[in-house]
């Protein structure tokens, strides 16, 4: 990382990133540029790096213990969301998906119905099935401003006998932060029909300027007594592989239920993950504030690039996180445009269909990436201008750095009709 940049989150080269062995960089051949899985291309926050190095130097690599985690999370929650958390209501779980599943196991009978909203994080449905429950889908409603909860649809599902609702807020893949009024309506319905609400709030620390995240269990517990929020440092500080999350009970009755989690659930968490989370929650807020500036810049730049170079692609900038949900139907690439982009542009995106049938024609793009110079080398099968014979080609003389993953610059390859994102190598 020898280059000086105006944004510290841009200070990695493609060659450096290709030495990483995480899922993002190890899944595809070296000629494929990965923008699929939700990992960021950033260095560790200094407090986390110090905590991990210190643990390794003292040989502190045993089983996880939650000491200090609940208090650190409560401090972070108050500072970030004005959310007062009782540390006694915070329980260590290995990761958010396992935490959600274990809460469902504790609070619903086998064979019961669990409501989700497609578009949905792909592991939700198989995890619910693995735990012996049935998925009931209440699809999100598409509006000109993005995707919204179908409150009437939720009431129908609750009234029909669903036992639980798996809420994802901020939403993956759309980046939507649901309004407090919507959450209060959900809470009122859940109380009326005796439905447990289990909220995946993994992207909440990445809420971007202009949006306000309301933790579900911060609502009045008299309105929603049967609720649990599951959250972690994994996405915000890029430590998903270290395995640590917390489940936060919304009431004393749910706290008592969480206290019955089997002891082995906590032992599946990673000790280094707990140490990293404590460091993130206690000392990582300044780093996170800088990251949010970086991601805000990236989402705005992506909007500008799409408008200028590929206006046929629909895009509502996310209100949280670093995932862009792109409607590629206007490109005429069929239900699975990600396959075309991989084959023709050698860039890996998440398939829209993996998030539900209403994801046909969509892709999910990871914007949590580094800057590239506007005129660097490398393959650049691009994104079209939308008219025949028009191509966007950066001049090799233009070597000024462009910010973020969204210097995934684009042009239309008229000869092969291949439109795809590509990152230009420095």
Q: Is 186 exposed, middle or buried (0-12, 13-18, 19+ CB in 10 A)?
A: buried
Name the percent of the chain lying above pLDDT 70. Answer: 85
Model confidence band, residue 169 (pLDDT cutoffs 50, 70, 90): very high
Could you tell me where the DSSP H helices lie in 58-159?
69-81, 96-107, 124-130, 151-159
Instruction: List the domains of the chain with CATH numbers.
Output: 8-43+286-407 (3.90.1150.10), 46-283 (3.40.640.10)
What's the confidence (pLDDT) of residue 120?
98
pLDDT at 113 over 50: yes
Residue that has been written with the tokens 């020898």 in this structure: 2
Mean pLDDT for the stretch of residues 360-377: 69
Find the range with the poorest average confidence among 176-185, 270-279, 386-395: 386-395
Q: Per-residue pLDDT tens for 286-327?
A: 999 999 999 999 999 999 999 988 899 999 999 999 999 999
Find the range with the poorest average confidence among 275-284, 340-349, 397-406: 397-406
Residue 278 · residue 69 · CB < 8 Å: yes
What's the confidence (pLDDT) of residue 345?
87
Q: Per-residue pLDDT tens for 52-79?
A: 999 999 999 999 999 999 999 999 999 9
pLDDT at 35 over 60: yes
* 382 token code pair: 């691009």
Higher pLDDT, 74 or 377: 74
Find the range with the poorest average confidence among 82-86, 203-207, 224-228: 224-228
Mean pLDDT for the stretch of residues 361-383: 57
37-43-46 Cα angle (round to 5): 130
Average pLDDT over the chain reads 86
What's the confidence (pLDDT) of residue 287?
97
417: left (phi over 0), alpha (psi -120 to 50) or beta: left
Higher pLDDT, 139 or 414: 139
Name the percent of the chain lying above pLDDT 90. Answer: 78
What's the confidence (pLDDT) of residue 400?
33
pLDDT at 41 over 90: yes
What's the confidence (pLDDT) of residue 384?
31
> Please, which residues bridge with residue 88 across strands?
none
| The pairing of beta strand 245-249 with beta strand 146-148 | unpaired
Helix (H) or strand (E) holding 194: none
Three-state secondary structure call for residue 257 = helix
What's the confidence (pLDDT) of residue 370?
56
Q: Per-residue pLDDT tens for 19-30?
A: 999 999 999 999
Mean pLDDT for the stretch of residues 224-244: 96
Which candidate, 135, 128, 167, places its Cα nearest to that of 151? 167
pLDDT at 382 over 60: no
Find the range with the poorest average confidence among 150-159, 177-186, 231-240, 302-311: 302-311
Residue 106 · residue 265 · CB < 8 Å: no
CA distance 293 to 67: 32
CA distance 211 to 207: 6
What's the confidence (pLDDT) of residue 11?
75
Supply the pTM of this predicted model.
Answer: 0.88
What's the confidence (pLDDT) of residue 401?
35
pLDDT at 422 over 70: no
What's the confidence (pLDDT) of residue 223?
79
Model confidence band, residue 188 (pLDDT cutoffs 50, 70, 90): very high
């Amino acid at each position: 990382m020898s280059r000086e940049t105006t944004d510290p989150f841009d200070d990695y080269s493609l060659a450096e990133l290709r030495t990483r062995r995480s899922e993002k960089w190890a899944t595809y051949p070296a000629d494929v540029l990965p923008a699929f899985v939700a990992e960021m291309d950033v260095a560790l926050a200094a407090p986390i790096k110090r905590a991990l190095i210190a643990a390794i130097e003292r040989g502190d690599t045993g089983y996880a213990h939650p000491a200090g985690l609940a208090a650190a999370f409560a401090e972070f929650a108050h500072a970030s969301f004005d959310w007062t958390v009782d540390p006694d209501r915070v329980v260590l779980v290995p990761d958010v998906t396992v935490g959600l599943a274990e809460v469902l196991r504790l609070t619903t009978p086998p064979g019961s119905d669990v409501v989700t909203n497609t578009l949905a994080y792909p592991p939700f449905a198989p995890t619910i099935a693995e735990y012996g429950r049935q998925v009931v889908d209440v699809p999100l409603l598409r509006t000109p401003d993005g995707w919204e909860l179908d409150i009437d649809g939720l009431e129908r599902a609750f009234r029909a006998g669903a036992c639980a609702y798996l809420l994802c807020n901020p939403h993956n893949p759309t980046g939507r932060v649901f309004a407090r009024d919507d959450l209060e309506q959900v809470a009122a319905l859940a109380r009326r029909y005796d439905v447990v609400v289990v909220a995946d709030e993994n992207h909440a620390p990445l809420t971007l300027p202009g949006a306000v995240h309301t933790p579900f269990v911060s609502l009045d517990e008299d309105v929603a007594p049967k609720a649990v929020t599951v959250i972690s440092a994994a996405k915000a500080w890029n430590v998903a592989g270290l395995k640590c999350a917390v489940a936060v009970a919304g009431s004393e009755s749910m706290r008592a239920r969480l206290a019955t989690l089997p002891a082995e659930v906590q032992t599946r968490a990673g000790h280094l993950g707990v140490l990293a989370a404590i460091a993130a929650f206690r000392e990582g807020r300044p780093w996170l504030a800088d990251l949010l500036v970086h991601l805000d810049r990236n989402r705005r730049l992506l909007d500008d690039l799409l408008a200028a170079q590929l206006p046929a692609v629909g895009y509502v900038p996310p209100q949280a996180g670093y995932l862009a949900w792109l409607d590629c139907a206007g490109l005429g690439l069929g239900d699975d445009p990600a396959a075309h982009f991989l084959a023709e542009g050698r860039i890996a995106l998440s398939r829209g269909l993996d998030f539900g049938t209403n994801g046909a024609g969509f892709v999910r793009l990871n914007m949590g990436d580094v800057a590239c110079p506007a005129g660097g080398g490398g393959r650049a099968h691009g994104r079209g201008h939308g008219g025949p014979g028009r191509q966007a080609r950066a001049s090799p003389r233009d070597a000024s750095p462009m910010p973020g993953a969204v210097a995934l610059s684009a042009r239309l390859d008229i000869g092969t009709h291949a439109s795809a994102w590509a990152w230009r190598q420095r």
